[in-house]
Copies of this chain bind each other. A is one copy, B any other.
Amino acid sequence: LPTKDSGNGAARRRPTIKMIAKLAKVAPSTVSRAINDEPSISEETRRRITRIADRMGFVPNVIARGLVTRRTNIVALILGVTRNPFYLEMIPVISAQLATRGMPLMIFRMSGQDRVEDTLATLARHQVSGCLIAAASLTPEAAAMCSRFNIPIVMINRLAEVQASSVNCNNREAGEQVGTLLRQEGRTRLAYVGGEGNAVTFQDSEREAGFARAAKAAGLAVPQRFAGAYSYEGGLAVAERLLATQRSFDGIFVANDIMAFGVIDGLRRAGIAIPRDVSVVGFDDLPEARWSAYDLTTVRQPIVTIVDRALSILDRHLSEEAAPAESVIVRAELIRRGTTL
């Protein structure tokens, strides 16, 4: 009787080193060595084998290889719950840098009430070699799992609550620079717009602290803090509250660009001119910051450098079992554009 899929036919099996070995009349181990360019193989054998392999369209099964070498070289990116496009933009950069190392990227995006721990179990299941965590924090439980599963991690843009490698910007200094800039412009009534509730990130508080320090150094009052969701809509809502305040601010530092756009649009709707009436500064330097509708003065997070550092650290953890955790601070640069004087 014909089987059910006799029409198309069961997919032809992909060629294996065993099949090549038979054709080349050598042992599978010899094929393996030839394929992997081991120096022990004679030039002639290697050529014969690779020619046969190419002719058959052989592609090594790295999953089988990974099973024996205990190393998949897969890097996972865990993305926390965020609506900040900054983290989405990191993806192509990570992907490109990993591609040069021949390491594939797996994406795990947390949603709703997911706990990092659950995501980590999935990583372990898939035997990923290393893990980047962005826009999420590392709970002690999660850190414990990583070390139990022996998955090295590096936190991006977030300090671990626990001993772990990380790469961050010099948030505090950058915040201070922003304060200094506003002061130089003659701004005296400063406000800071950050996240709300317990969603406030460490970077957020650092930026605020630096900003406050500059204010203090200039003899100004501590900048008043406004809180909103880290999103355009969050910024819009904050703008309303800024406007409702008795005090009128003339210098506003917003924790990230995505909120800053909302703040700007909210203020403009009310007829406020930027930067004439008020200066606004963001953080991240999203592509939209250059758009002439905003032309936002902001602090650039050097994505390429950040990713480069993160992967260097990961490389080290992958090659040295006991490489110590390291924290790298990357310099963020203040970019002056049209929302300041």
Contact = CB atoms under 8 A, between A and B. Distances in A.
A4 to B, nearest CB: 8
Contact of A96 (B95, B111, B121): B111
B59 A67 contact: no
Nearest to A77: B107
Please give the count of copies of this chain that the complex contains.
Answer: 2
Contacts of A106: 74, 104-107
A11 B321 contact: yes
Contact of A322 (B7, B293, B321): B7
Contacts of A2: none
B125 A62 contact: yes
Nearest to A85: B85
A243 interface: no
B8 A321 contact: yes
A92 to B, nearest CB: 5
Given A88-B92, A148-B57, A322 B5 contact: yes
Contacts of A85: 85, 88, 287
B67 A63 contact: yes
A301 interface: no
A14 interface: yes
A61 B162 CA distance: 27
Contacts of A7: 322
A268 B106 CA distance: 42
A207 to B, nearest CB: 23
Interface string A225-260: 000000010001000000000000000000000000
Contacts of A177: none
A104 B108 contact: yes
A288 B85 CA distance: 11
A7 B88 CA distance: 39
A165 interface: no
A155 B105 CA distance: 20
A206 interface: no
Interface string A39-81: 0000000000000000001011111101100001010000100
A339 B141 CA distance: 51
A232 B293 CA distance: 12
A231 to B, nearest CB: 9
Given A62-B126, A106-B107, 20 more contacts: A5-B320, A8-B321, A8-B322, A11-B150, A59-B121, A59-B149, A61-B67, A62-B127, A63-B63, A63-B72, A64-B67, A88-B91, A95-B108, A99-B109, A104-B106, A104-B122, A105-B108, A232-B287, A236-B292, A265-B292
Interface of A: 5, 7-8, 10-12, 14, 57, 59-64, 66-67, 72, 74, 79, 85, 88-89, 91-92, 95-96, 99, 104-109, 111, 121-122, 124-127, 148-150, 232, 236, 261-262, 264-265, 268-269, 287-288, 290-294, 320-322
The 9 closest A-B pairs by CB, nearest first: A8-B322, A11-B150, A293-B293, A265-B292, A95-B109, A59-B124, A5-B321, A88-B88, A62-B125
